[in-house]
């Protein structure tokens, strides 16, 4: 195994070697370079802006007592939510993908949907149930319930792809179901678990809007204050660099946790679903748990939408076509999800198949957008395109690129776990039988990582469909999406008119979630037929 790793590293790093082998890494390297450039763009914007500020003022801001409090608020929220999301996400994924819990298809869709609900609806829903819901615990609960799909989705797709023969061997060697889960199943989906947790942690560092309603202030509040009330982009960017520093620490920590252990299948190349764990008398409690999770995460916000619909609608806003807005949202989100997923492939290929310091760095960099407030990334794109690519400024293309950059980390996490599970042996066999690198990728790698690609696509699609900040800044003038229309109506108190837009956002998010669940079923069927 170790000799293979070093051969990979050599071919990845050194230019000479067989000409045929060079082509494919070259494609990956190009993709990696594109990703690096795209991710560094907002970071460079930050540094350039921050340098224009009196660092004195930033010092002053950073050394305030309240800054320490806000940083502590951010950190303790991130830690608690990440742990809870890990437990809920892995638990739910295991129940749906690895047990005989009833109505699996329905759960597979419902459990993903909370990601597609605007923060505003979630916050509003909870506040209307209990107006006294404020502070740390409220923030932990609400954020956990809306972010756990970031863990659930990658882990579920990884579990669907888990090598059943390993689990069966473990059981046959006398391991209890629990120990076999911990030592075999969990180990195989570990990259997906860590990746999902990484997304939750970084996302929470940059999160802003959702906390306002439960009166929980985090470090990002300071950044927004500088932008929106002080019009001091320099100070805001300098403060954002603090988020970058924290993220570097988080990314380093995750790297250490992920270790160098290989998790790819030793056995057959094709996925084969093993026998699902029989829940037996745990069937009802398991159903109740899934029902409670979906009910809290989905039921509360959807409940507030239904309530809004029943309220009077006095809006005198010109009614724009809801279908046009839905069409824009679907098209932009699908395009962004496609681009982000495709860009994630070279990043993961490099960091897993050609692992060295440089490729690991590229992969780490690709997570940074998750930890930056959307406003920072959007303003960075404004500053860049207005000077260097004016014809693209405020075009559909630029908005799609913005989504792709913002949510690239989600795609990388989705692809990464699938790539880690796929055995490079099969690719080597393909090569030794005379196939070119492109053909090996198409016929061997792609089918193996397909569930991961699906998860990546779904995650980016759903997140893009609710994005507001970058959309307001970068959309073509006159174009509305579901999110911008929803915002327009809610800032005008027209909750009744706003509700259908939010409802449609949830429905649109259900499409990729549904397709993904079908796809994962197909895999299981193919496996069972084999």
Q: What totals of helices (H) and strands (E) does the chain contain, helices first?
A: 27, 0
CA distance 313 to 316: 9
Q: Which of 156, 213, 370, 413 binds other proteins (CB under 8 A)?
A: 213
Rule CB under 8 A: is residue 513 a binding residue for other proteins? no
Rule CB under 8 A: is residue 126 a binding residue for other proteins? no
Between helix 322-348 and helix 19-52 the angle, nearest 10°, is 120
Residues 13-52 binding other proteins (CB under 8 A) are none
Q: Which of 7, 176, 314, 321 binds other proteins (CB under 8 A)?
A: 314
Residues 455-484 binding other proteins (CB under 8 A) are 457, 469, 472-473, 476-478, 484
| Cβ burial, residue 525 (10 Å; 0-12/13-18/19+) | exposed
Q: Which is nearer to other proteins, 140 or 339 (CB)?
A: 339
Point out which span in 62-70, 72-80, 180-188, 245-253 binds other proteins (CB under 8 A): 62-70
Rounded least distance, CB 62 to other proteins, Å? 12
Tally of CB atoms within 10 A around 393: 16
Rounded least distance, CB 475 to other proteins, Å? 8
CA distance 184 to 263: 10
Q: Which is nearer to other proteins, 90 or 508 (CB)?
A: 508
Centroid of chain to Cα 4 = 31
Rounded least distance, CB 525 to other proteins, Å? 11
Residue 419 corresponds to which tokens in the numbers above?
Answer: 């790539």
Residues 381-410 binding other proteins (CB under 8 A) are 382-383, 386-387, 390, 393-397, 400
Rule CB under 8 A: is residue 332 a binding residue for other proteins? yes
Rule CB under 8 A: is residue 222 a binding residue for other proteins? yes
Site of tokens 């549904």: 514
Nearest to 241 by CA among 205, 196, 197: 205
Rule CB under 8 A: is residue 494 a binding residue for other proteins? yes
| Cβ burial, residue 358 (10 Å; 0-12/13-18/19+) | middle
Q: Which is nearer to other proteins, 94 or 495 (CB)?
A: 495
CA distance 54 to 235: 8
Q: Which is nearer to other proteins, 212 or 428 (CB)?
A: 212
Q: Which of 86, 371, 379, 499 binds other proteins (CB under 8 A)?
A: 379
Rounded least distance, CB 225 to other proteins, Å? 4
Point out which span in 25-33, 142-150, 296-304, 313-321 binds other proteins (CB under 8 A): 313-321
Rounded least distance, CB 40 to other proteins, Å? 18
Point out which span in 8-16, 102-110, 272-280, 377-385 binds other proteins (CB under 8 A): 377-385
Rounded least distance, CB 473 to other proteins, Å? 6
Rule CB under 8 A: is residue 228 a binding residue for other proteins? yes
Point out which span in 3-11, 72-80, 179-187, 230-238 binds other proteins (CB under 8 A): 230-238
Q: Which of 2, 63, 131, 357 binds other proteins (CB under 8 A)?
A: 131
Q: Which of 316, 323, 357, 432 binds other proteins (CB under 8 A)?
A: 316
Q: Which is nearer to other proteins, 68 or 292 (CB)?
A: 68
Rule CB under 8 A: is residue 493 a binding residue for other proteins? yes
CA distance 377 to 368: 11
CA distance 467 to 121: 13
Rule CB under 8 A: is residue 508 a binding residue for other proteins? no
Taking the C-alpha atoms of 28, 30, 31 and 35 in order, what is their torsion angle to the nearest 10 degrees? 130
Cα–Cα distances in angstroms (integers) from residue 337 to residues 26, 130, 295, 419, 464, in the given order: 23, 36, 28, 18, 8
Rule CB under 8 A: is residue 255 a binding residue for other proteins? no
Q: Which of 8, 100, 212, 428 binds other proteins (CB under 8 A)?
A: 212
Rounded least distance, CB 249 to other proteins, Å? 25
Q: Which of 86, 170, 335, 499 binds other proteins (CB under 8 A)?
A: 335
CA distance 277 to 91: 13
Rule CB under 8 A: is residue 223 a binding residue for other proteins? no
Identify the bridge partners of residue 99 per DSSP, sorted by sequence position: 277
Rounded least distance, CB 1 to other proteins, Å? 26
CA distance 205 to 380: 19
CA distance 398 to 362: 23
Taking the C-alpha atoms of 193, 348, 402 and 44 in order, what is their torsion angle to the nearest 10 degrees? 100
Rule CB under 8 A: is residue 528 a binding residue for other proteins? no
Would you say 197 and 253 are in contact if contact means Cβ atoms under 8 Å apart? no
| Cβ burial, residue 284 (10 Å; 0-12/13-18/19+) | exposed
Rounded least distance, CB 105 to other proteins, Å? 17
Tally of CB atoms within 10 A around 438: 11
């Amino acid at each position: 195994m170790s000799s293979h790793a070093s051969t990979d590293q050599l071919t990845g790093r050194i230019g000479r070697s067989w000409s045929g082998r060079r082509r494919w890494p070259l494609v990956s390297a190009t993709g990696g370079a594109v990703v690096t450039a795209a991710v560094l763009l907002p970071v460079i914007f930050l540094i350039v802006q921050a340098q224009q500020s009196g660092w004195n003022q930033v010092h002053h801001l950073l050394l305030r007592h309240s800054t320490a409090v806000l940083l502590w608020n951010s950190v303790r929220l991130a830690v608690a939510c990440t742990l809870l999301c890990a437990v809920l996400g892995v638990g739910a994924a295991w129940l749906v993908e690895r047990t005989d819990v009833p109505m699996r298809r329905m759960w597979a869709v419902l459990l993903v949907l909370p990601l597609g609900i605007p923060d505003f609806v979630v916050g509003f829903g909870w506040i209307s149930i209990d107006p006294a819901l404020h502070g740390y615990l409220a923030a932990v609960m609400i954020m956990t319930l809306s972010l756990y799909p970031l863990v659930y989705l990658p882990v579920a797709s990884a579990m669907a792809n888990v090598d059943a023969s390993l689990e069966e061997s473990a059981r046959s060697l006398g391991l209890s179901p629990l120990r076999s889960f911990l030592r075999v199943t969990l180990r195989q989906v570990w990259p997906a678990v860590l990746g999902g947790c990484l997304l939750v942690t970084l996302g929470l560092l940059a999160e802003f809007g959702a906390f306002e309603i439960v009166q929980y202030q985090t470090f990002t509040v300071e950044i927004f204050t500088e932008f929106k009330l002080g019009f001091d982009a320099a100070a805001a960017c300098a403060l954002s660099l603090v988020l970058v520093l924290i993220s570097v620490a988080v990314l380093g920590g995750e790297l250490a946790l992920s270790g160098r252990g290989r998790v790819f299948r030793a056995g057959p190349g094709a996925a084969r679903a093993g026998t699902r764990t029989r829940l037996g008398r745990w069937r009802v409690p398991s159903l109740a748990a899934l029902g409670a999770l979906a009910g809290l995460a989905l039921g509360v916000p959807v409940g507030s939408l239904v309530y809004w619909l029943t309220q009077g609608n006095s809006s005198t806003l010109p009614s724009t076509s809801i279908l046009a807005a839905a069409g824009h949202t679907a098209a932009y989100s699908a395009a962004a999800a496609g681009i982000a997923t495709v860009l994630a492939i070279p990043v993961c290929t490099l960091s897993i198949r050609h692992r060295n310091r440089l490729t690991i760095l590229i992969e780490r960099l690709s997570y940074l957008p998750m930890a930056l407030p959307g406003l920072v990334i959007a303003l960075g794109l404004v500053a860049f395109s207005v000077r260097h690519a004016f014809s693209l400024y405020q075009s559909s293309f630029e908005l799609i690129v913005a989504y792709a950059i913002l949510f690239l980390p989600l795609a990388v996490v989705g692809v990464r776990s699938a790539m880690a599970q796929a055995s490079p042996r099969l690719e080597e066999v393909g090569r030794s039988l005379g196939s070119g690198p492109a053909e090996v990728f198409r016929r061997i790698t792609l089918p193996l990582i397909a569930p991961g690609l699906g998860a990546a696509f779904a995650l980016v699609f759903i997140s893009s469909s609710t994005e507001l900040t970058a959309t307001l800044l970068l959309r073509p003038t006159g174009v509305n999406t579901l999110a911008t229309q929803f915002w327009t109506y809610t800032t005008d108190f027209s909750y009744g008119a706003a509700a259908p837009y939010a409802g449609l956002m949830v429905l649109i998010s259900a499409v990729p979630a549904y397709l993904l669940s079908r796809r994962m079923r197909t895999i299981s069927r193919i496996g069972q037929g084999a």
